[in-house]
Structure 1
Amino acid sequence: MKSRIYRNSVGVSKFTGLVLILPFIIGAILFIVYPFVCSFVVGLTDNSGCLSFNNYKNILSDRNIRQASMVTLKYTAVLVPLKLVVSLLAALLLNCELKGIGLFRTAFYIPSILGSNLAVIIMWQYLFTSDGLVNQLLSAAGIAPVGWYGDTNAALFIIVLLRVWEFGSTMVIFLAALRDIPKELYYAAKVDGCGRIKAFFYITLPQLKNIIFINLVLQTIAAMQEFNAPYMITGGGPLGSTRTIGMYIYDEMFRYGDDGTANAVSWLLFVIIGIIVMLMYKFTSRLRRD
C-alpha cells in the first residue's frame, strides 16, 4: 500500500514539474527553435522563393560582407578590452565603504541605461561635430581639430567611446565579485609586507579570473551584434568604415528586401560568434582552472 502511494506521489510530482516547465518549453520552441529553423530555410531561398544555395556561396565572395566583417572584428577587438579595463578600474574605485558611496555607484551605472537613448545619441553626435565641444577643447589645448566624421578611424572611435562610456553593467558584475573576495587574503598579504599593486596582481586578478571570462564573453557577443550606435551616429560611414554586420543585415532585409541574403549573413554572424567564443573558452580554460 505504501509503495503504491509512493509511486503515485512520484508520478504526480513528475507531472507537476512538467506542467511548470511547459510554458518555458513552448516559449523556447516558438521564439528560439522556430525562428532559427525559419531563418536557415529562408537563407536557402532566392528572391523568387525557390531553393538555392547561392546566398551562402555569395557571402564568402561578397566584398561588402568582408568589409562589414572586418569592421565588426576591429570594433570588437578595440572595444572589449578597453571596456573591461575601464569597468574593472571603476569597480575598484567603488569597492569601498564611504559615506554616500551608493550615490556614486548609481551615477556610474546610469550611462548604461541611457546609452541607446535618442537624446544621448544626438548629444553624442553634437560633441564630435566640427564645432562641437570636443574640437573646442582640442583647440583650447592647442591641438588641431579633428574631422571625426570624415576620418575612418576617428568615426569608429566615436562609437567605441560611446560604448565604453556605458560600462555600468560590466562594472556591477566586477563590483559584486570584488565584494565576495575574502578580506582575510588582503590582511594576510598586508602582514607579509605586500603592497596594493602586488595584492591586485596576486590576489584580486586571480580571484576575478572567472568573472573576467564571463564579462569577456558577454561583451564580445554584444559587440559582434552592434547595430544601434553606428546606425544612429554615423550611418555606416565614412566609406563603410563603421558599417557592421548588423547594419549589413538590416540593409539587406529592410532597405533592399533581400530576405535570403539577410538570413544567410545572420547565420554567418552566428557561426563567427560561436567560433570566437569557443576559441576564448579553449585558450582560457587552463588559466581559469589554475
Structure 2
Amino acid sequence: MLPKREEQTTTTVPEVSSEPKFKQMEPLKPARRNVKKDNRNTTGYLFISPFLLGFFTLTIFPILYSLYLSFTDYDLMGTPSWIGLDNYVRMFTDDPTFWKSMKVTFFYAGIAVPIRLVFALLVAMALNKIVEMVGLYRTLLYLPSVVGGSIAVSIMWRQLFGNEGAVNSILGALGLPTHSWLGDPDTAIWTLIVLYGWQFGSSMLIFLAGLRNIPKTYYEASSVDGAGPVKQFFIITIPLLTPVILFNTIMQVIQGFMAFTPSFVVTNGGPVNSTLLYVLYMYQRAFEYFDMGYASAMAWVMLVIIAIFTALIFKSSPHWVHYESDNK
C-alpha cells in the first residue's frame, strides 16, 4: 500500500489594517441649559425672597451693625464715633451696676431654669398616665406659657404680690403675717422666679412627647424583675429621656439669660437693683441713658456668655446623654 500523503496545513496571517483601531472621539457639545429647571429655580427664589429679605435686613444687618456700634460712642442722635475697646474696658472695670446685673441674672437663671425643668417633667409624667381627656389637660397646662411672657400677665403678677394683692389677702384671711413681696430685696427676685417656673407649658409638651416614645415593654419587663416606680424612673425614664433633657436645658438656659419682661413690668429692677436682670440693664443703658454703643457691647458680652454655656452643655453631653444608636 502506498503511504498516505500528509495534508499540508496552512496558517492564515491576519491582515494588519492601516486604519487606527479606535477612532478619535468627537468633542462633546456643550449641554443645553434646562430652561424648565432654571424657571423652577427662579420661582423658588421668588417665593423665599420675603424670608431672605427679612433675614438679611432684620437679622444679619442689625447683628453686624450692633457689633460696629459696640466699638463706638453713640447716643442715638448724632453720628457714632469710634472709641475702640473703651466700652468693654469701662464695662468690666468701672461699672458696678453691670456686675450687679450679672450676679442677679446668674442667680435667676441658676434657680429658675432647674425649677421649670423639674416641674415640667413631673407634670408631663402625670399627664402620661392620664388616658381620658388628656388633650384638655394638656391645653389647660399649656395656656400659662402662651400668655405667660406678656405684659398683661406681668401686670397681673404685680397685682397678686402687691401689698394689698391676692397673696397677702389670703395670708391675712388665714391669720398669717403678710409681707411686702415686691418691696423686699430678699423676696422680690423670688416672685420673678415663681413666674418663670409657672410658664412650664412648652417644656412640658416636649417632655411628654419624649415620654410617649419610650416603649411600655421596658416598664413591663422591669416590673417582672421587681423594679418599682422609683427605680424605673432612674433606670428607664431618665436615661431614655436624656436627649429631650438636653434640648430643654439648652433652650431654657438661653431664655433664662434673656429674660426681660417680668423684671421690667413687675419690679422695674427694684428694689435697690435686686431684680435688675442683665437685659433690663442693657435696655436702660440704650433707651434711658441713650448710650447705645455701651448697650451694644453688653449685648455681645451676653452672646459670648450664652455661647460658652451652650458649648459646655454640649461638651458634657457625651457623658450623660444616651441615644438609641449608641447601643447598635
Q: TM-score, normalised by structure 2?
A: 0.80
| Residue aligning to 2:9 | none
Q: Give the Cα–Cα distance (whole angstroms) in 1 for the partners of residues 110 and 133 of structure 2.
A: 36
| Residue aligning to 1:259 | 292
Q: CA deviation at 1:104?
A: 1.0
Q: Give the Cα–Cα distance (whole angstroms) in 1 for the partners of residues 116 and 56 of structure 2.
A: 35
Quick check: which one's helix share is greater?
Answer: 1
Q: 2:86 aligns with which of 49, 54, 63?
A: 54
1:252 counterpart letter in structure 2: R
Q: CA deviation at 1:97?
A: 4.1
Matched, 1:181 2:214: yes
Question: Equivalent pairs: percent with the same residue?
Answer: 36
| Residue aligning to 2:3 | none
Correspondence 1:226-241 to 2 at 5 A: 226-241=259-274
Conservation of the 8 A alpha-carbon contact between 2:67 and 2:297: yes
Matched, 1:146 2:179: yes
Q: CA deviation at 1:33?
A: 2.2
| Residue aligning to 1:114 | 147
Deviation by residue 1:234-273 (Cα, 9 ceiling, x = unmatched)? 0100100111111111111111111101101111111111
State the secondary structure of the residue aligned to 1:60: helix
Q: Give the Cα–Cα distance (whole angstroms) in 2 for the partners of residues 136 and 82 of structure 1.
A: 26
Q: CA deviation at 1:69?
A: 0.8
Q: 2:37 aligns with which of 12, 17, 28?
A: 12
Matched, 1:94 2:127: yes
Deviation by residue 1:152-175 (Cα, 9 ceiling, x = unmatched)? 231011011111111001100001
Correspondence 1:207-226 to 2 at 5 A: 207-226=240-259
Deviation larger for 243-252 or 143-152: 143-152
| Residue aligning to 2:64 | 37
Q: Give the Cα–Cα distance (whole angstroms) in 2 for the partners of residues 143 and 125 of structure 1.
A: 21
| Residue aligning to 1:28 | 55
Q: Give the Cα–Cα distance (whole angstroms) in 2 for the partners of residues 11 and 69 of structure 1.
A: 57
Deviation by residue 1:61-113 (Cα, 9 ceiling, x = unmatched)? 21111111111111000100000000000000111343222111111011111
Q: Give the Cα–Cα distance (whole angstroms) in 2 for the partners of residues 284 and 246 of structure 1.
A: 28
Q: 1:201 aligns with which of 234, 239, 243?
A: 234
Q: Give the Cα–Cα distance (whole angstroms) in 2 for the partners of residues 4 and 215 of structure 1.
A: 56
Deviation by residue 1:162-221 (Cα, 9 ceiling, x = unmatched)? 111110011000011111111111111111111111111110101110111110110110
Gaps of 5+ in 2: 1-27
Q: TM-score, normalised by structure 1?
A: 0.90
RMSD, aligned α-carbons: 2.5
Q: Give the Cα–Cα distance (whole angstroms) in 2 for the partners of residues 183 and 231 of structure 1.
A: 46
Distance change in 2, residues 1:63/1:96 (3 Å): same
Q: Give the Cα–Cα distance (whole angstroms) in 2 for the partners of residues 151 and 249 of structure 1.
A: 23
Distance change in 2, residues 1:11/1:280 (3 Å): farther
Conservation of the 8 A alpha-carbon contact between 2:151 and 2:261: no
Deviation by residue 1:108-148 (Cα, 9 ceiling, x = unmatched)? 01111121333322221122122322223334555432221
